[in-house]
Amino acid sequence: MYVLEIWQEAFPVLLVGLRLTIELTILAVLFGCVIGLIVALGKMSRMPLIKIPSVIYVEFFRGSPLLVQIFLVYFGLPKLVGHPMDQFWTSVAVLSLNSGAYCAEIFRAGIQSIERGQMEAARSLGMNHIQAMRYVILPQAFKRVIPPLGNEFIAMMKDTSLVSVIGLIELTRSGQLIISTTYTAIEIWFLVAIFYIIMTVLISEFFVNRMERRLQAGDRS
């Protein structure tokens, strides 16, 4: 009964934090997918001026810790621009850039998994390279990258907890604030973990798997 009372009091506060976590995750992965697709095509380009910056971007954001990237942007950029950074949009920007690096590798692997004959067949039908990528290669690659993109969504949802270091009160930070006043660490952290587990299951079972089934049904039809 004591634990249930603690959870009942903490539940509304954690829901507010969960909402911010969901917002950060959706924006980060959405922008990350756009960035990732552009960078993936850049890495596959034969032009050094496009390929080299794309490779450097991916290696930097995949090779350095996300926490360091948050500190670098939030505390470093104000010295360059001359004014403080907004906490929310700084978090969105850093998370998006980090997600974009991983999405770039996902898209690149998906595109390269398509048989070369598909491109050659499209070109033989009179399409140029851009048209072949848009209408032939990318639609097929997208179907193959859904599972890893789902994993990236789940990973990013958990990584949003790191933005608590710059003051954003997302799910994890909400739990910390509750614990600082109630001194019930085990009970609150267990409830926070349940929130994350529920979100993970919802994403994997009701979004990723359902989208895969729809695409498979579309292929059969």
Q: pLDDT at position 131, please? A: 84
Q: Please compute the mean of the pLDDT values over residues 112-136 and round it to a whole number.
A: 83
- Phi, then psi, of 83 in degrees rounded to 5: -150, 160
Q: pLDDT at position 71, please? A: 94
Distance CA 77, CA 85 (A): 8
Q: CA dihedral defined by 103, 104, 108, 111, rounded to 10 degrees?
A: 60
Q: pLDDT at position 205, please? A: 75
pLDDT at 217 over 80: no
Q: pLDDT at position 220, please? A: 54
Q: What is the largest CA-CA distance in the chain?
A: 72
* Token pair in block for residue 63: 């090779």
Residues 6 or more apart from 129 whose CB is under 8 A from it?
119, 123
pLDDT at 8 over 70: yes
Q: pLDDT at position 1, please? A: 60
* Burial class of 148 by CB neighbour count within 10 A (0 to 12, 13 to 18, 19+): middle
Please name which of 213, 94, 211 lies closest in space to residue 159, comparing C-alpha atoms: 94
pLDDT in tens, 32-78: 999 999 999 999 988 999 999 999 999 999 999 999 999 999 998 88
Q: pLDDT at position 137, please? A: 86
Whether pTM exceeds 0.85: yes
> Model confidence at 216, in pLDDT bands (50, 70, 90)?
low
pLDDT at 21 over 90: yes
Q: Please compute the mean of the pLDDT values over residues 14-42 and round it to a whole number.
A: 95
Count of CB atoms within 10 A of residue 167's CB?
A: 11
Distance CA 58, CA 49 (A): 15
Residues 6 or more apart from 139 whose CB is under 8 A from it?
none
Distance CA 38, CA 42 (A): 6
Q: pLDDT at position 135, please? A: 82
Domain boundaries, the chain: 2-220
pLDDT in tens, 90-111: 999 999 999 999 999 999 999 8
pLDDT in tens, 149-192: 888 999 999 999 999 999 899 999 999 999 998 888 899 999 99
Domain spanning 2-220, CATH class:
mainly alpha
- In the chain, the amino acid numbered 28 is A
CB 100 within 8 A of CB 36: yes
Distance CA 59, CA 45 (A): 17
